[in-house]
């Protein structure tokens, strides 16, 4: 049976808001002005994000990793091919939560550590008071606001989730941590904090696995709040598959031997599947193996490298299992039809910090267990980011292109769509405001707020074309880019500007900067104006 397709007028009527709301700019209501009936008629939102996962890792984006639950979201909804993040964990989270560019929210770079604070400004390393989060806006509009997972946009109070609008929270306040034993950190002095609501929590050493815990708390929050008439916003921010390579033995065993074919063959296989799925254009050639990555045939420790990628795959597999639990709980509550579920990654696959990865323990143990602490390196990350080049941290396509899936049975009419319209994580705030029927505020708690940079994705979800961004911009640790339409101007830190026609060459192999100096000048002027405006 065809699903309903709403115009904005129909959508308001269906939500019980009435067409009078059309008279308000953005057809919205002021915060806190909803009746119980109005609140109950608005959609729930579940936003799920993976950490350091490449463009082609999951099955519905050409990967061989077993991800039936993410693939199921795609089969019932929309896969986006031109969606972007902000190239790194902290900046992406800041942009996603606020609808602003990371610098405007205070996290142009990495998060600030309590023992090493940064000066106030665009790189202060925690959310500033000139931004507002999705949780703050939606909670003021009558939503329950729930979060399970990695925060990483403020390590010190009062910059924790409950300080920024979330009603309930479980998860990792900072970054990379041991998945099994929280007392075993990355290095001496690098304390990691897990919190429940606003209090630190030390998990048990036995029977704990961080990915499962994130899934479990998400399921528990759904069970507690999902049966209520009040709508909910649930943000599930996994740490998987961010290093260290830690996975459960039964999940690792599924993939052992799968990667003995090596990264060169894996990239070609994924490229062909991406073509078959219609997610990339055949005129885009597969990028060359990264210059720092050796050919697979030259690798002596093939068994160890196979195991590293097997553990990485197992981390994604376990995350997908957890997503399945969340989706089954949603279905059991009878809320599946009226819930928008979104899935994406915070950046491309992670190169850190060599082609074959690091081993911070160097104790002779294989990857996967509690006493190991390894990464899979740029060789496998190059495969994760197929067909693009470069990685997390850079703003070439391999660093910023993300798989992005949306499912909303009550609204998305055509199942299994592929959408090529452009988008960015800054659009998620605008979309949430649109769905909740509330304005993005000009002020919050007496403070002036930066104007919203994102644009709502609702027209796309309704099967329409939307008016996209005039341009999108990036800067992270000196890597810079601007995309306007088909054209992208990009550079690595301290490098020359490169110009690419992404319609003809999205894998960024043919630099046209020398052929089109006037276009380079024009795009550079746009970038510089944005950089001044945002404090880059």
* Residue 462: partners with Cβ closer than 8 Å, 6 or more residues away: 5, 6, 7, 11, 411, 413
Which residue range is the domain that position 107 belongs to?
A: 8-469
Q: How far apart, in Å, are the Cα atoms of 509 and each of 82, 215, 283, 489, 499?
A: 18, 40, 12, 13, 10
Residue 520 lies in a domain: no
Residue 493 lies in a domain: no
- The overall average pLDDT reported for the chain is 92
User: What is the pLDDT averaged over residues 451-465?
Assistant: 97
Distance (Å, rounded) from C-alpha 109 to C-alpha 126? 10
* Residue 212: partners with Cβ closer than 8 Å, 6 or more residues away: 318, 322
Confidence label for 253 from pLDDT (cuts 50, 70 and 90): very high
Phi first, then psi, for residue 219 (nearest 5°) are -65, -40
User: Bridge-partner residues for 418, per DSSP?
Assistant: 79
Residue of 60, 89, 90, 534 marked catalytic? 89
Asked whether residue 255 carries a pLDDT value surpassing 90, the answer given is yes
Active site residue 159: no
460 against 38, higher pLDDT: 460
Q: pTM of the prediction?
A: 0.93
Residue 18 lies in a domain: yes
- Residue 137 contacts residue 165 (beta carbons within 8 Å): yes
* Residue 276: partners with Cβ closer than 8 Å, 6 or more residues away: none
The pLDDT value given to residue 115: 78
- CATH number of residue 245's parent domain: 3.40.720.10
Beta strands in 251-331 (DSSP E): none
Asked whether residue 4 carries a pLDDT value surpassing 60, the answer given is no
Residue pLDDT, tens place only, 79-102: 999 999 999 999 999 999 999 999
DSSP conformation class of 162: G
String of DSSP letters for 81-106? EEEE--SSHHHHHHHHHHSS-HHHHT
The pLDDT value given to residue 17: 38
* Residue 330: partners with Cβ closer than 8 Å, 6 or more residues away: 46, 222, 226, 336, 339, 341
Copy the structure tokens of residue 280.
């990339």
Residue 73 lies in a domain: yes
The pLDDT value given to residue 41: 76
The number of domains in the chain is 1
Residue 34 lies in a domain: yes
Distance (Å, rounded) from C-alpha 337 to C-alpha 413? 12
Residue of 66, 103, 144, 152 marked catalytic? 152
Residue pLDDT, tens place only, 260-288: 999 999 999 999 999 999 999 999 999 99
User: What is the pLDDT averaged over residues 105-118?
Assistant: 90
- The three-class DSSP label of residue 225 is helix
Distance (Å, rounded) from C-alpha 409 to C-alpha 412? 6
* Residue 76: partners with Cβ closer than 8 Å, 6 or more residues away: 407, 409, 412, 415, 416
The residue among 316, 490, 474, 443 whose CA lies nearest residue 30 is: 443
DSSP strand pairing (194-196 vs 168-172): antiparallel
The pLDDT value given to residue 186: 63
Asked whether residue 8 carries a pLDDT value surpassing 70, the answer given is no
Asked whether residue 313 carries a pLDDT value surpassing 50, the answer given is yes
HSE (CB half, 13 Å, CA atoms) of 441? Answer: 22
Asked whether residue 14 carries a pLDDT value surpassing 90, the answer given is no
The pLDDT value given to residue 401: 98
* Residue 269: partners with Cβ closer than 8 Å, 6 or more residues away: 64, 261
The pLDDT value given to residue 524: 98
The pLDDT value given to residue 192: 85
* Residue 246: partners with Cβ closer than 8 Å, 6 or more residues away: 178, 179, 180, 209, 311, 315, 368, 369, 370, 372
User: What is the pLDDT averaged over residues 240-259?
Assistant: 98
The residue among 54, 49, 79 whose CA lies nearest residue 312 is: 54
Least confident of 136-150, 178-192, 211-225, 465-479: 178-192
The pLDDT value given to residue 40: 55
Confidence label for 353 from pLDDT (cuts 50, 70 and 90): confident
Length of the chain: 536
The pLDDT value given to residue 29: 47
Residue 479 lies in a domain: no
The pLDDT value given to residue 84: 98
Residue 279 lies in a domain: yes
Residue pLDDT, tens place only, 356-397: 999 999 999 999 999 999 999 999 999 999 999 999 999 999
Distance (Å, rounded) from C-alpha 432 to C-alpha 135? 10
Name residue, tokens 């909910």.
232
Strands lying side by side in the sheet with 144-149: 199-201, 194-196, 168-172, 144-149, 232-237, 44-50, 339-345, 404-407, 78-84, 417-424
Residue pLDDT, tens place only, 461-520: 999 999 999 999 999 999 999 999 999 999 999 999 999 999 999 999 999 999 999 999
Distance (Å, rounded) from C-alpha 281 to C-alpha 264? 20
String of DSSP letters for 203-222? --SSS--HHHHHHHHHHHHH
* Residue 291: partners with Cβ closer than 8 Å, 6 or more residues away: none
Active site residue 131: no
Name residue, tokens 């009527």.
13
Residue 61 lies in a domain: yes
Q: How many CB atoms lie within 10 A of CB 113?
A: 15
Distance (Å, rounded) from C-alpha 340 to C-alpha 429? 14
């Amino acid at each position: 049976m065809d699903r309903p397709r709403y115009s904005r007028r129909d959508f308001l009527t269906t939500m019980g808001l009435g067409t009078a709301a059309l008279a308000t700019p953005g057809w919205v209501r002021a915060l806190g002005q909803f009746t119980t009936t109005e609140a109950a008629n608005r959609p729930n939102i579940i936003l799920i994000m993976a950490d350091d996962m490449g463009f082609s890792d999951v099955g519905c984006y050409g990967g061989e990793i077993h991800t039936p639950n993410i693939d199921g979201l795609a089969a019932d909804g929309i896969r986006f091919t031109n969606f972007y993040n902000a190239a790194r964990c902290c900046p992406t989270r800041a942009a996603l939560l606020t609808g602003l560019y990371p610098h405007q929210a205070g996290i142009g770079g990495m998060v600030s550590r309590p023992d090493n604070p940064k000066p106030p400004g665009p790189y202060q390393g925690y959310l500033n008071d000139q931004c507002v989060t999705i949780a703050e806006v939606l909670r003021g509009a009558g939503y329950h606001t729930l979060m399970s997972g990695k925060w990483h946009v403020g390590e010190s109070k009062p910059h924790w989730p409950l300080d920024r609008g979330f009603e309930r929270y479980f998860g990792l306040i900072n970054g990379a941590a041991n998945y099994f034993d929280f007392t075993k950190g990355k290095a001496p002095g690098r304390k990691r904090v897990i919190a429940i609501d606003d209090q630190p929590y030390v998990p048990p050493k036995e029977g704990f696995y961080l990915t499962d815990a994130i899934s479990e708390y998400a399921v528990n929050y759904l069970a507690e709040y999902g049966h209520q008439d009040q709508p909910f916003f649930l943000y599930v921010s996994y740490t998987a598959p961010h290093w260290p390579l830690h996975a459960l033995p039964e999940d690792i065993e599924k993939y052992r031997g799968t990667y003995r074919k090596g990264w060169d063959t894996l990239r070609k296989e994924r490229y062909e599947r991406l073509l078959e799925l219609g997610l990339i254009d055949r005129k885009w050639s597969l990028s060359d193996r990264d210059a720092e990555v050796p050919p697979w045939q030259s690798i002596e420790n093939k068994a160890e490298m196979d195991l590293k990628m097997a553990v990485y795959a197992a981390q994604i597999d376990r995350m997908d299992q957890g997503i399945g639990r969340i989706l089954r709980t949603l279905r059991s509550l009878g809320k599946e039809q009226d819930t928008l579920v979104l899935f994406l990654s915070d950046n491309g696959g992670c190169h850190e910090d060599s082609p074959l990865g690091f081993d911070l323990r160097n104790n002779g143990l294989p990857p996967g267990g509690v006493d190991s602490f390894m990464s899979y390196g740029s060789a496998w990350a190059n495969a994760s980011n197929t067909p693009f080049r470069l990685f997390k941290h850079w703003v070439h396509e391999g660093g910023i292109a993300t798989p992005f899936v949306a499912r909303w049975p009550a609204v998305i009419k055509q199942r299994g769509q592929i959408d090529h319209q452009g988008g960015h994580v800054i659009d998620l705030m605008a979309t949430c405001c649109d769905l909740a029927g509330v304005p993005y505020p000009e002020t919050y708690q007496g403070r002036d707020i930066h104007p919203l940079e994102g644009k709502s994705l609702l027209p796309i979800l309704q099967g329409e074309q939307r008016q996209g961004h005039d341009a999108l911009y990036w800067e992270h640790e000196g890597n810079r880019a601007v995309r306007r339409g088909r054209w992208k101007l990009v550079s690595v830190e301290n490098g020359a500007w490169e110009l690419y026609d992404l319609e003809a060459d999205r894998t960024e192999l043919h630099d046209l900067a020398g052929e089109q100096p006037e276009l380079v000048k024009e795009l550079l002027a746009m970038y510089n104006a944005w950089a001044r405006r945002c404090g880059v």
